[in-house]
């Protein structure tokens, strides 16, 4: 998982140009996907149900909010191609970190209609821009509710409720003019086409070597899960020790993840002055800590605290990386895809940088049934409850779609690792 950015925020508005967007879309289809991201093509399903349930004509045509999962670094490119096949144009909300990677990336994204959002703050300009996209209705709006790339395609990470809040708020306003807003959950699956086990074994061995833990290197007889666990445990222990935290004496991965992430967060929350609430998940605790840290690091009047805040940010990132692992993810169903994702995640966390795709893949995109927001804006329905209900409905729909794509997956990635 890549580091968060706490550079001073500035809003990147969309500057969509139809011709330039078309040319970039063609480049995405014929060059970026197959040659850079190693996705040979994108297969789309669910279009008949999508088009039959949407009113796309006249001044009262439905406004559409696409809500896809975010399992890989190829998702934006895969989804843009899926929308081309589906006949939709979109304006996409994207983390401002991405715009800061290069001026060319920012230019391309803006010409495609993307605009930035400060995911750690209350970004009113991004909210107004999203509302304006829906009000005009010329383009759909796309938001990735997971907020980060988690590199675990088969399990949807709990959605942030910001997308539901924005959609319901827009629906209330447009409903006055007889216009519906439809939320469309979208399931993205990226699967391997070939047997890439030798490349994965080589990457695992290189990671073990880089961690300088020869005793933890996977041996030839180890199962993929055993090899991943050995390297993963070595990585967690090393990172905790480097930060002056005592690693727990356990080889149980679930205990190690829960204890280690909890210990890092307990220490961090004391430093930044926030209280831990009972029943709050580790991921939500990280998100709460990140909001506080981001606020400090981007406040020019608190420069005296910026040095300490850099340390806090490092600690929050460590906790985030640890708790983003699911201890039973590979053991539950050790497919080639799950093993590959977890090895890629380990490599990214150890090296602190995105790695190149290991082998050729196929993008699978399923458009799930649209959800009319009329029922979420009824008089008397509590706002917070409506937001929670819509978030849960979209999350469940995306997970069901991923499960269906997995059931129908004929490619090598969907096969058991040991059966290839």
Q: Is 223 exposed, middle or buried (0-12, 13-18, 19+ CB in 10 A)?
A: middle
Q: Do both 54 and 179 map to the same domain?
A: yes
pLDDT at 408: 95
| 3-class DSSP state of 32 | helix
Q: Do both 43 and 155 map to the same domain?
A: yes
* CATH number (domain holding residue 413): 3.40.1130.10
Q: Do both 131 and 114 map to the same domain?
A: yes
pLDDT at 234: 80
Whether 316 is covered by a domain: the verdict is yes
- Domain residues for 49? 18-193+359-419
pLDDT at 44: 98
Alpha carbon distance 150, 325 (integer Å) = 9
Ranges under pLDDT 50 in the chain: 214-218, 220, 380
pTM of the full structure:
0.88
Q: Is 67 in contact with 398 (CB distance < 8 Å)?
A: yes
pLDDT at 221: 52
Q: Do both 93 and 37 map to the same domain?
A: yes
Whether 13 is covered by a domain: the verdict is no
Whether 320 is covered by a domain: the verdict is yes
- Residue in 356, 346, 355, 338 with CA at minimum distance from that of residue 409: 338
pLDDT at 14: 95
Q: Do both 109 and 47 map to the same domain?
A: yes
- For residue 21, give both structure tokens: 């967007």
> Pick from 334, 351, 368: which residue ends a domain?
351
Give residues with Cβ within 8 angstroms of 57, minimum separation 6.
Answer: none
DSSP string, 238-264: HHHHHTT-PPPS---HHHHHHHHHHHH
pLDDT at 380: 46
Whether 4 is covered by a domain: the verdict is no
DSSP string, 99-120: HTS-HHHHHHHHHHT-EEE-TT
| 3-class DSSP state of 365 | strand
Q: Is 324 in contact with 346 (CB distance < 8 Å)?
A: no
Whether 170 is covered by a domain: the verdict is yes
Whether 85 is covered by a domain: the verdict is yes
pLDDT at 121: 65
Whether 10 is covered by a domain: the verdict is no
Q: Number of folded domains in the chain?
A: 2
Q: Is 132 in contact with 18 (CB distance < 8 Å)?
A: no
Q: Do both 219 and 167 map to the same domain?
A: no
Whether 297 is covered by a domain: the verdict is yes
Q: Do both 176 and 253 map to the same domain?
A: no
Q: Do both 335 and 409 map to the same domain?
A: no
- Going from the C-alpha of 233 to that of each of 213, 255, 322, 405, the distances in angstroms are 10, 11, 10, 31
Q: Do both 32 and 128 map to the same domain?
A: yes
Alpha carbon distance 355, 26 (integer Å) = 25
CA angle 31-403-188, nearest 5°? 25
In which residue are the tokens 């005009």 written?
136
Could you report the per-residue pLDDT of 373-400, keeping only the tens digit for each? 988 886 545 678 899 999 999 999 999 9
Q: Do both 27 and 112 map to the same domain?
A: yes
Pick left, alpha or beta for residue 415 (phi over 0 → left; psi -120 to 50 → alpha; otherwise beta): beta
> Pick from 295, 327, 351: which residue ends a domain?
351
What counts of helices (H) and strands (E) characterise the chain?
15, 8
> Pick from 316, 351, 386: which residue ends a domain?
351
pLDDT at 213: 55
């Amino acid at each position: 998982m890549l580091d968060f950015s706490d550079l001073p925020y500035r809003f990147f508005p969309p500057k969509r140009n139809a011709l330039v967007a078309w040319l970039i879309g063609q480049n995405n289809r014929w060059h970026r996907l197959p040659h850079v991201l190693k996705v040979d093509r994108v297969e789309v399903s669910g279009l008949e149900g999508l088009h039959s349930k949407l009113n796309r004509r006249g001044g009262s045509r439905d406004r559409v909010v696409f809500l896809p999962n975010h399992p890989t670094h190829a998702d934006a490119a895969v989804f843009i191609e899926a929308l081309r096949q589906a006949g939709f144009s979109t304006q996409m909300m994207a983390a401002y970190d991405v715009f800061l990677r290069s001026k060319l990336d920012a230019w391309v994204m803006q010409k495609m209609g993307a605009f930035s959002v400060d995911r750690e703050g209350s970004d009113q300009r991004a909210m107004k821009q999203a509302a304006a996209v829906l009000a005009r209705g010329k383009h759909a709006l796309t938001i990735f509710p997971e907020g980060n790339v988690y590199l675990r395609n088969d399990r949807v990470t709990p959605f942030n409720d910001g997308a539901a809040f924005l959609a319901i708020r827009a629906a209330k306003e447009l409903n006055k003019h007889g216009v519906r807003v439809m939320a469309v959950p979208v399931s993205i699956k990226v699967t391997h086409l070939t047997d890439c086990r030798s490349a994965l074994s080589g990457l695992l061995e290189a990671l073990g070597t880089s961690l300088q833990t020869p005793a933890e290197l996977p041996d030839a007889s180890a199962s993929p899960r055993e090899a991943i666990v050995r390297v993963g445990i070595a990585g967690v222990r090393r990172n905790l020790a480097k930060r002056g935290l005592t690693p727990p004496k356990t080889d149980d991965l679930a205990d190690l993840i829960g204890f280690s992430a909890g210990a890092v967060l307990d220490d961090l929350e004391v430093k930044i002055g926030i209280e831990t609430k009972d029943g709050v998940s580790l991921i939500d605790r990280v998100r709460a800590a990140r909001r506080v840290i981001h606020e400090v690091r981007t406040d020019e009047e608190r420069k005296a605290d910026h040095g300490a805040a850099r340390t806090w940010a490092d600690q929050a990132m460590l906790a985030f990386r640890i708790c983003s692992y699911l201890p039973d993810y590979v053991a539950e169903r050790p497919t080639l895809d799950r093993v590959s994702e977890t090895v890629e995640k380990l490599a990214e966390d150890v090296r602190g940088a995105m790695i190149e795709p290991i082998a050729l893949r196929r993008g699978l995109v399923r458009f799930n049934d649209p959800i009319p927001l009329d029922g979420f804006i009824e008089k008397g329905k509590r706002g917070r409850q409506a937001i929670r209900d819509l978030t849960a409905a979209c999350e469940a729909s995306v997970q069901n779609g991923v499960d269906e794509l997995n059931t129908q997956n004929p490619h090598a990635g969907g096969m058991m690792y040991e059966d290839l």
